[in-house]
Amino acid sequence: MIKKLRLPPGFTAPTRSTYEDLVATAITRADLRDDVRGINASIALIQRTRGGGWPTEPVTEEFNFVDIVWHELEFREGASFTYVVRDAGRGYLGCCYLYPMGRRTELTEALLEHDVDISWWVTQGAYEHGYYRTLYHALRHWLAEQFPFGAPYYSNTEIPPE
């Protein structure tokens, strides 16, 4: 079962958000090559920190193109929100996702109170420079300041300390 995101009438998700030196933009086809490179160079780290069933193997540009188009469509429809994250110098760091509860994480009775499932990953180099933790704090800030969700669930396997 998937719990649809509840958005107020007229709500428009930001297509760009900043926090410290991070810049998150709604993912588009223009991000394809950076995204493929980032995913394929970071599979073990993504599996360890984000968890879940993806990625299990390197992705191709053809596969990832379809995935990105799906993310673009869902963003436009307000069904989910996927962002590419870069540092202020425009270097690719990773992605973050705002999904309806039940899509990524099994919806259990204990999770019914949550209204959005938040997950993210960063490349190995970004992780080594502390961006995994910084992105977690950025997400907490963005959710509080720019989105109408009151009970987010951070579903990554590795949650940084406050």
What pLDDT band is residue 13 in, cutting at 50, 70 and 90? very high
Tell me the average pLDDT of the chain. 96
Rounded Cα gap, residues 154 and 142, in angstroms: 13
Rounded Cα gap, residues 116 and 4, in angstroms: 9
97-111 confidence digits (pLDDT tens) = 999 999 999 999 999
Please say if the pLDDT value at position 162 is more than 90.
no
DSSP H/E element including 152? strand 152-154
SS3 state at 49: helix
Rounded Cα gap, residues 39 and 76, in angstroms: 24
- In this structure, what token pair is assigned to residue 46? 């993504």
Give pLDDT, residue 89.
84
* The CATH number fitting domain 16-154, selected from 2.40.50.100, 3.40.630.30, 3.60.10.10, 3.40.190.10: 3.40.630.30
Q: Are 109 and 4 in contact (CB under 8 A)?
A: no
| In the chain, domain spans | 16-154
